[in-house]
Amino acid sequence: MKDIYVSDLMSFDEGKPFDCFFLVLTKQQRSTKSNKPYLNLILGDKTGQIEARVWDPGDPRIAKDFERGDLVKVRGSFSRYEDRAQVKVDQLRKANPGEADKMDMLPATRRDVGELWADLEASVASLANPDLKRLLTALLADTALAQAYREAPAARQLHHAWLGGLLEHVVSLLGLADRVAAHYPLLERDLLVTGVILHDIGKIRELEWESGFDYTVEGVLLGHIQMGVVLVEKTIAGLPGFPDRLRTLVLHMILSHHGKLEFGSPKLPMIPEALVLNFLDDLDAKMQAVASEFEKSAREGKAPDEMTGKVWALDQRQLLNTKAWLKAGNGE
Amino acid sequence: MKDIYVSDLMSFDEGKPFDCFFLVLTKQQRSTKSNKPYLNLILGDKTGQIEARVWDPGDPRIAKDFERGDLVKVRGSFSRYEDRAQVKVDQLRKANPGEADKMDMLPATRRDVGELWADLEASVASLANPDLKRLLTALLADTALAQAYREAPAARQLHHAWLGGLLEHVVSLLGLADRVAAHYPLLERDLLVTGVILHDIGKIRELEWESGFDYTVEGVLLGHIQMGVVLVEKTIAGLPGFPDRLRTLVLHMILSHHGKLEFGSPKLPMIPEALVLNFLDDLDAKMQAVASEFEKSAREGKAPDEMTGKVWALDQRQLLNTKAWLKAGNGE
Amino acid sequence: MKDIYVSDLMSFDEGKPFDCFFLVLTKQQRSTKSNKPYLNLILGDKTGQIEARVWDPGDPRIAKDFERGDLVKVRGSFSRYEDRAQVKVDQLRKANPGEADKMDMLPATRRDVGELWADLEASVASLANPDLKRLLTALLADTALAQAYREAPAARQLHHAWLGGLLEHVVSLLGLADRVAAHYPLLERDLLVTGVILHDIGKIRELEWESGFDYTVEGVLLGHIQMGVVLVEKTIAGLPGFPDRLRTLVLHMILSHHGKLEFGSPKLPMIPEALVLNFLDDLDAKMQAVASEFEKSAREGKAPDEMTGKVWALDQRQLLNTKAWLKAGNGE
Amino acid sequence: MKDIYVSDLMSFDEGKPFDCFFLVLTKQQRSTKSNKPYLNLILGDKTGQIEARVWDPGDPRIAKDFERGDLVKVRGSFSRYEDRAQVKVDQLRKANPGEADKMDMLPATRRDVGELWADLEASVASLANPDLKRLLTALLADTALAQAYREAPAARQLHHAWLGGLLEHVVSLLGLADRVAAHYPLLERDLLVTGVILHDIGKIRELEWESGFDYTVEGVLLGHIQMGVVLVEKTIAGLPGFPDRLRTLVLHMILSHHGKLEFGSPKLPMIPEALVLNFLDDLDAKMQAVASEFEKSAREGKAPDEMTGKVWALDQRQLLNTKAWLKAGNGE
Amino acid sequence: MKDIYVSDLMSFDEGKPFDCFFLVLTKQQRSTKSNKPYLNLILGDKTGQIEARVWDPGDPRIAKDFERGDLVKVRGSFSRYEDRAQVKVDQLRKANPGEADKMDMLPATRRDVGELWADLEASVASLANPDLKRLLTALLADTALAQAYREAPAARQLHHAWLGGLLEHVVSLLGLADRVAAHYPLLERDLLVTGVILHDIGKIRELEWESGFDYTVEGVLLGHIQMGVVLVEKTIAGLPGFPDRLRTLVLHMILSHHGKLEFGSPKLPMIPEALVLNFLDDLDAKMQAVASEFEKSAREGKAPDEMTGKVWALDQRQLLNTKAWLKAGNGE
Amino acid sequence: MKDIYVSDLMSFDEGKPFDCFFLVLTKQQRSTKSNKPYLNLILGDKTGQIEARVWDPGDPRIAKDFERGDLVKVRGSFSRYEDRAQVKVDQLRKANPGEADKMDMLPATRRDVGELWADLEASVASLANPDLKRLLTALLADTALAQAYREAPAARQLHHAWLGGLLEHVVSLLGLADRVAAHYPLLERDLLVTGVILHDIGKIRELEWESGFDYTVEGVLLGHIQMGVVLVEKTIAGLPGFPDRLRTLVLHMILSHHGKLEFGSPKLPMIPEALVLNFLDDLDAKMQAVASEFEKSAREGKAPDEMTGKVWALDQRQLLNTKAWLKAGNGE
């Protein structure tokens, strides 16, 4: 585990040297006005990002072979230029295997991933429909896929944009789905649960999180809905006797979960379970955005009487923290 | 209780006389080609509507004093003209008090209204916030209002468009709201419950259901959101010491519950409880539309392999009944 | 081949008996006012549709075992009721194998299907890229699929809505694509040609044309874009060493060919070939709509000075036939 | 009255000391890189805003007790940093009562408020409808409300965003309304006049202008339309015998005056007076935006041949000053 | 002048013969079921339209040479078929010159056209700008054009869709424009007046009203905005020394008067006069639609408590007649 | 021809003097903080733009009489301020006639203008329709217009925004149009060709390129569609016996070529040639944007695996260079 994080650097005295592991998020060749080449880096860990400069790239203490996505050990010092924090890099080498943990280098869920995974497995175990159960069991039996499912963020920037974010979002949805399925007997509960677990599974291929969160080229051209459909389709092809109709319904759940054509779903929800999945997915993403925004306002020291900033995920709406506002008003 | 309903008439032999109570939904003066005046009526009860003609309005056996909205007793006979069913009226008089029950004359909930009301009262009783509790208690203590709340449809034509529909919709929402509030600790549960109970309360003034379901002129010009706000505002004005902030939040819940400006909410939801109320209100209305559509398909004898007709409340989408379709496919 | 077509019946004297083969498009049980059961049928062939009634379904000369989608031989007579043509059915039996040709029973392309198919095969043969060539060759080697490709309509109702319409549309597009690829050297011609051939291939599963043109349930829930992707994906899986990048590009061509999310493409065209495919597909569909509309106006005897009716495929625009209008104006 | 205004500071020599009264618009605690705390202020008066820094907040000559919204007396000097003007504050204390006038501290109408108010009162006096007259009389008899009506801006940033802006906009509309009512005899002139006076009355609660122009939290959650309706509703409740229909119409005028649901009116105009109010309100706001834009262009020294900048209130359109352009072209 | 109008026929006894002049709106060749040819006509005058049939087109008493757009004298009798009125034609000949007046044959303004024209000429005379005055004078000096201006409807179906409707609409706008120009000194009044007179002048070529109201082919392909621009451009070309800038502004007024690109204006209003013209044009059209709708409701015997039907020109809104509703409520 | 270009300056040492010709794109009077007046210029040539400052405008070596749009000779030196390049001007005079070539001062097509023009003339020569041929011949016979046609950019900023861009775009379209006309026999090829040549001809008046690319005031108020129509209309007026219908069709081609009202075409394409023109115009503009974007990515050194930046002309889509990506993947 790291000793020093990006968030710690901000309080450092200027000029004081330190050693620290980072993930290289960007690496660019640049020149000064006097045409002296230097390296401009963006280094990150799970607490944030910081700009860094290698003024003498030819220095033997600066590794030649590192790239975007590498873990590196840096010796440097901290400075500020017009409110912009910067690291001056004196030494830099690639981290040795085991020296640093990638999970420390990108923002990650605050939940325990093992517990979340156990929740997911409990949901699979709870299925009464044998075909859906063997479909999910087969998928999650692929250890590489299961590992990716545990790591993947739910998005590059919006809701749950951190390692483990996909799993965290799915587990929250599983809780909601069970509550809502109990409320509407019309719903085929097992199909809804299956849809929750599979709806975003293509994100483990659409996104990559080795070197920051980004889309793969295949992800940009095909999209996670499509990639999820192909993945599930292939798994089903390996399950003899899987009912055709059930296959169609499961694929329809994935295809339609964005709820509108203009949100990238090529089909609107046309079965009740797909309708509910779209609602709950949207609600959970928005509730997470609300919670994040309230945390951000608190971090920024906003008074309870102030609305939050404009929230991208809610059409640039501003929000009010009901509980905080009511509490602040009690003494009035 | 009535012996004969509109739905029964359809199987009658032509020409056979019958006696029956109806609600007058429309009454128009017309003339034949040879300029003989006659009355064209639309008569209804809870099972449907039928056209009726009084060919000799001057006949002393035909009452002069009845209007749209009256309960009447009719003696007449049934006929068909090019697949259009029609009643030929021989005698007609206004019903005597107690002879017929208005609840028999308009479509009504199949749920027990007493039980639904008890559910609503239990929700009020469950509130921990004393101000919200006295607000709801004060409102429901108005017996005329409480009676109207029990009777009101939730809409003229769309979801829950029957007597008791508003109450049925609210009670379903209360169940959902409790489940979702338990899932998201962020939510101020009592405010959400209050919003559920009050969000559509203006409908008891926007709509009238004495003579079919229709909008009042005031309802058309002001709308149920506005009328609800004014009603709640006045009730709060009678509650000394009601906190200003709580008043603002309750009014905001009502104002924003349609979720979008273009759906008639002058404000978007800006507190988490309002966001959730909008989602659940929309979901419950759509799930009711889904259930109705599946019942309609069953009534019309559609095969499980056929999609339903286009559903207005779901953007003209067609739906598939998951459970029925899977069951029908089991033997394949 | 048939002797008599629906279009011929219109000029028949009322009451004159005839024998004719038809496709059963609809079969419904109904009752007369006096509760006598009868059958209401819609019968069709490639020239149109006509309503038919079997007034005595119990007559031994009326087969019991026919259904929607069957070819039948009918003996009956023609009548008109208020401008509505109708067939009174006296005898009806299922057609024996070979007695009637399904191609005679639905509207079909006026082009020679064999020639169109040869054009398609010539395009495949022209490909320089070996991977794309073996992909298309593998697909078309599936004789059931190739037969379906030759038969499929391009749509249920809009452009090219006739047997062979898909192939006719694709062959027209191949001609256009070659011309445009020659104009823009930037384009990877073989990828464009492959996209043209595969973009709508899912329609052979989305639609069924055994008993009129309709969507399959799977077609409604998944859509032809999705079904095409899965079909191509599976074929590629059987081609060892097929390049990953080429696979992504081919799937992207299919996914994006509608050009906009709101038209059901989950991805916008992001490579030049996909951009061009979307343009040409749209242009060819619209040009076919223009041509059809001009033919329709001519059939209806409209003067060259009259605009056509409102054209659905062109946003309800009215059109003017340039050549006809100029010619008509020459004498002025 | 102030001697020195923000607009004067711009021409001051750097470093020259001055004394001046300001309104505190923002007050923030900050630290230098070397962690020395300082205060960052934004100070304003009716001519503009300027940034100010208190480098030594502990200095006894700097008051401790001032907040955003206070009037303060500042001794300081002027400096520029990269084209950004700044005040270095040496002394600061809260203004004594009577020392400075809030009307001097925020942008204000150039019209005489007394005259504008007299125009408004003349309109009220001109009403023939006794109920509307007593409604307006009762409202304006509330001196706090009348004072607020005289002070309120019409908006935070768009048209008439200055003290007295609401009144100025209303008086312009009264003139227009009289002209248009005279043109269309169909119109109930008194209702139109009443609508003009009341349509934006909620703005006196939606906005606050003690410390710059801003929305109140209640204003954000409820909006001025809603707040106006509640205010008028309460006033009417105190007027015995006020006709129900007239009440509905007045409320409808307020509710519908934005003209479209997506502009925040929960109801569209459904009476001719509401239709006209919406048109005139929109026209007057736009004409004011046009006039402001032309003044701004003149201030910036644009030539008559140049279009103005993009105008926010007119969908980012650029405008041309007809009179100036024609005049400039006369010599051509 | 005619003795009998279409509106009179409705009360005629069936079978009674009459003589009457009509305008031929449609003439179609048809055949009965038994293949006997007959003519189907639609005949009209200013009070309405009626279907007519010539069962024996070969009868020597039936003219051969009449066409759509001709005035004809008809001898026939009246009948009804399922509530559809129809004329059975026994004799028909083209009207002799002078026998019938085209102004009697199409709906026409109820205003005095001479007075309206005098109002227009007074506006032209009032112009202080000599160039605008000679432009308008030159245009109206073309007697054919002036006659067409007096006759033209303002639209085929929407507002002012009657002979003289264009002039009536323009004169109403001139009154409004003078009032509004007096309110905003910013406005170049003469340019606004000129814009009012010229904005729709292309309609005299876009529409034709010889044989009912319809668009010309040129009108459909080019539109009245374009045709107006060309007409004004040509007139200006004949006025030596007409200032270039003024020409640009006048053309811009015409081009932009629909106010939005999607309403067919290729340019948005970018000068204040164009902005005002767009507002007033829209307002006057809507006020006329309101007035027409109230008249229609009165004609149909609607109660003052009923909203009107849905008004096409007002986005399908329903309206309430303020004055009538208030009056009806006075006794309550 | 110039020796030194803006693009060369970037690599100059700071302070080294140079002599160079430029086009003055902007000239502004400004003052330093100490109120010393200076001139701020933007100077450009075909390779780019650079800011320049004249610190002593009163120096006799600085010309007084130059304006925006003038060609000037500058002696100065190069400097950088925070990554912003700047020229310090020591001497400045207007260029003598013949000293510098305007074609060197603005970005220009890389194609040979003479060849492009010959292609255009060949298209005109190819027309079989004599009226269209004499229309185009007459237009291009105007040497000023023909010169402007050769010089005009196709847009200010988007596609083909360089000198000769209009001609380059038209010639590409002529090639496409011939290919597509050959594919669809329905098309009146000569009308399509004429439309291609004339559709943007108004741009030679809408834009001016003497002093950078900008809109004229007339261009802003009327637009190139309108200006093109008037130009063509006037030319036709000088051609005796030009058929009315052909005139209407040609004008319709120009009017409708943007394809949608919201793109500024006041009419939708209603003839097949106009439909095709709109498609090809759009396709060619987009293909040019694609090509430019790929060149830009290459210039910026992007890897073939990276998507391009967001492309304005393609709804902010990112693109992938198919050929480069496939090639880069070959070794995988």
Indicate whether E258 pLDDT > 90: yes
* % residues pLDDT > 90 (chain C): 58
Asked if residues C275 and C253 have their Cβ atoms less than 8 Å apart, the reply is no
Optimal mutation site among E12, E297, E307, E311, interface B, most CBs of chain B within 10 A: E307
Residue D298: pLDDT band with limits 50, 70, 90: confident
Residues of chain F with pLDDT under 50: none
Q: Which of D216, D100, D107 is nearest to D153 (CA)?
A: D107
> Mean per-residue pLDDT for E213-226?
90
Tell me which of F80 and E260 has the higher pLDDT.
E260
- Annotate A260-290 with b (16+ C-beta within 10 A) or e (fewer): ebeebbbbbbbbbbbbbbbbbbbbbbbbbbb
F139 three-state secondary structure:
helix
Distance of CA C284 to the CA centre of its chain: 15
C-beta atoms of E287 and D186 within 8 A: yes
A2-5 LR contacts (CB < 8 Å, sep 24+): A2/A45, A2/A100, A2/A104, A5/A45, A5/A46, A5/A47, A5/A48
**Cα of B22 to nearest chain E Cα, Å:** 24
Give D40-97 pLDDT, tens digit per residue. Answer: 888 888 887 888 999 888 899 999 888 888 889 999 988 876 556 789 999 999 998 8
Query: Average per-residue pLDDT in chain C?
Result: 89
A/B interface, count of CB pairs below 8 Å: 113
CA distance F54 to D46: 36
Indicate whether D15 pLDDT > 90: no
- Interface predicted TM-score (ipTM): 0.85
Indicate whether A150 pLDDT > 70: yes
Indicate whether E32 pLDDT > 70: no
* % residues pLDDT > 90 (chain E): 57
Is B318 in the C-facing interface, judged by CB distances under 8 Å? yes
Q: Are strands D17-31 and C214-215 parallel, antiparallel or unpaired?
A: unpaired
Tell me which of E82 and D254 has the higher pLDDT.
D254
Q: Which of F124, F257, F274, F120 is nearest to F187 (CA)?
A: F274
What pLDDT, on the 0 to 100 scale, is given for residue C33?
A: 55
CA distance B240 to A229: 60
Residue type, A267: K
CA distance A30 to A22: 21
Residues E247, E250, E251, E252, CA torsion sign: positive
What pLDDT, on the 0 to 100 scale, is given for residue D158?
A: 61
Tokens for C320? 């003017």
Tokens for B199? 């969000």
C-beta atoms of C221 and A261 within 8 A: no
Q: Are strands C207-208 and C84-94 parallel, antiparallel or unpaired?
A: unpaired
> Mean per-residue pLDDT for C170-178?
97
Residue C239: pLDDT band with limits 50, 70, 90: very high
Residues of B in contact with C33 (CB under 8 A): 14, 80
Distance of CA C312 to the CA centre of its chain: 17
Tokens for B261? 């400006």
Indicate whether E96 pLDDT > 80: yes
Is C221 in the B-facing interface, judged by CB distances under 8 Å? yes
Helices (H), chain A: 6-9, 113-125, 130-141, 143-151, 165-183, 189-198, 203-206, 217-237, 244-256, 272-299, 322-329
Residue of A nearest to B327 (CA): A245
Tell me which of F104 and D201 has the higher pLDDT.
D201
Give E104-116 pLDDT, tens digit per residue. Answer: 888 888 899 999 9
A58 three-state secondary structure:
coil
Give D96-112 pLDDT, tens digit per residue. Answer: 888 888 778 888 888 99
Residues of chain B with pLDDT under 50: none
Alpha-carbon dihedral E235, E237, E242, E248, rounded to 10 degrees: 80
Residue D290: pLDDT band with limits 50, 70, 90: very high
CA distance E178 to E196: 11
Interhelix angle E322-329/D244-256, rounded to 10 degrees, is: 150
In whole angstroms, how far apart are CA D195 and each of B82, D188, D198, D203, D274? Answer: 53, 11, 5, 14, 8
> Mean per-residue pLDDT for C36-63?
87
Name chain A's partners: 3 or more CB pairs within 8 A.
B, C, D, F
Tokens for B60? 């002393």
**Cα of C263 to nearest chain A Cα, Å:** 7
Is B307 in the A-facing interface, judged by CB distances under 8 Å? yes
Residue D159: pLDDT band with limits 50, 70, 90: low
In whole angstroms, how far apart are CA C34 and each of B9, B86, E89? Answer: 14, 16, 41
> Mean per-residue pLDDT for E210-227?
88
Residue E84: pLDDT band with limits 50, 70, 90: low
Residues of B in contact with A330 (CB under 8 A): 243
Optimal mutation site among F26, F31, F33, interface D, most CBs of chain D within 10 A: F33
Helices (H), chain D: 6-9, 113-125, 130-141, 143-151, 165-183, 189-198, 203-206, 217-237, 244-256, 272-299, 322-329
What pLDDT, on the 0 to 100 scale, is given for residue E116?
A: 97
CA distance A174 to A168: 10
E92-95 LR contacts (CB < 8 Å, sep 24+): E92/E54, E92/E61, E92/E62, E92/E63, E92/E66, E93/E63, E93/E66, E94/E63, E94/E65, E94/E66, E94/E70, E95/E21, E95/E70, E95/E71
Optimal mutation site among A217, A224, A226, interface C, most CBs of chain C within 10 A: A226
**Cα of B226 to nearest chain D Cα, Å:** 8
What pLDDT, on the 0 to 100 scale, is given for residue E83?
A: 55
Indicate whether C67 pLDDT > 90: no
A/F interface, count of CB pairs below 8 Å: 10
Q: Which of F306, F309, F327 is nearest to F318 (CA)?
A: F309
In whole angstroms, how far apart are CA F137 and each of C190, C326, F145? Answer: 41, 21, 12
E25 three-state secondary structure:
strand
Is C222 in the F-facing interface, judged by CB distances under 8 Å? no
Q: Which span out of A161-165, E78-82, E223-227 was modeled with the highest average pLDDT?
A: E223-227
Optimal mutation site among A221, A229, A256, interface C, most CBs of chain C within 10 A: A221
C-beta atoms of B325 and C217 within 8 A: yes
Tokens for F26? 């902007």
Q: Which span out of A151-160, E182-191, F100-109 was modeled with the highest average pLDDT?
A: E182-191
What pLDDT, on the 0 to 100 scale, is given for residue E102?
A: 75
C-beta atoms of E217 and C80 within 8 A: no
Interhelix angle A189-198/A130-141, rounded to 10 degrees, is: 20
Residue of F nearest to A219 (CA): F307
C-beta atoms of D270 and E332 within 8 A: no
Secondary structure, 3-state, F144-201: HHHHHHHHCCCCCCCCCCCECHHHHHHHHHHHHHHHHHHHCCCCCHHHHHHHHHHCCC
What pLDDT, on the 0 to 100 scale, is given for residue D331?
A: 59
C305 three-state secondary structure:
coil
Asked if residues B260 and B268 have their Cβ atoms less than 8 Å apart, the reply is yes
CA distance A218 to C243: 13
Residue A34: pLDDT band with limits 50, 70, 90: low
* pTM summary value: 0.87
Residues B78, B80, B84, B89, CA torsion sign: negative
Is F270 in the E-facing interface, judged by CB distances under 8 Å? yes
Tokens for D265? 């009116």
Element (H or E) spanning A208, and its range? Answer: strand A207-208
Tell me which of C141 and B163 has the higher pLDDT.
C141
Asked if residues D232 and D132 have their Cβ atoms less than 8 Å apart, the reply is no
Task: Please indicate whether chains E and C are in contact, defined as at least 3 beta carbon pairs under 8 Å.
Answer: yes
Helices (H), C20-142: 113-125, 130-141
- Annotate F128-145 with b (16+ C-beta within 10 A) or e (fewer): ebebbbbbbeebbeeeeb
C-beta atoms of D318 and F217 within 8 A: no
Tell me which of D17 and D213 has the higher pLDDT.
D17
CA distance D195 to C311: 46
Lowest mean pLDDT among A34-43, A141-150, C146-155, C243-252: A34-43
Indicate whether D11 pLDDT > 80: no
Q: Which of A221, A288, A253, A213 is nearest to A132 (CA)?
A: A253
